[in-house]
Amino acid sequence: MWNLRYGFTPTHPGEVLKDEIEYRGISQQLLAKQMGMSYKALNDILNQRRPLTPTTAMLFEAALGISAGLIMRLQLKYNMQAVSHDKKLASRLGEIRKACAVL
């Protein structure tokens, strides 16, 4: 599925967070309530259907003690790997590189 352009298979931060809350035996319902977010939003992040934002990263840090910076870096790496598969973007980038090569 993923081309290992960056030398690794990206990990969505939701996967790491889901493993952590399961390990701790915390229910998603309770965690969502404690964090002041909807269960659906939390579940979407944990099941990799929604990206982590700086705000939600800070909420997870407060709730679980996991560095917001760490999980945001996971999200960034995941995003970069995902966008590297966008054929439209690749074509556009190629055109920009050609045009700028003559500057």
Q: What is the CATH number of the domain that holds 58?
A: 1.10.260.40
pLDDT at 30: 97
In a domain, 4, yes or no: no
Phi and psi torsions of 97, nearest 5°: -60, -40
> How far is it, in rounded angstroms, from Cα 66 to Cα 99?
44
In a domain, 6, yes or no: no
Share of the chain above pLDDT 70, in %: 92
List of the chain residues with pLDDT < 70? 1-8
In a domain, 23, yes or no: yes
32 neighbors 39 (Cβ within 8 angstroms): yes
In a domain, 58, yes or no: yes
Q: What is the mean pLDDT of the chain?
A: 92
pLDDT at 102: 84
In a domain, 3, yes or no: no
Residue 87's domain comprises 13-101
The number of folded domains in the chain is 1
pLDDT at 82: 87
pLDDT at 84: 85
In a domain, 5, yes or no: no
In a domain, 8, yes or no: no
pTM of the model: 0.82
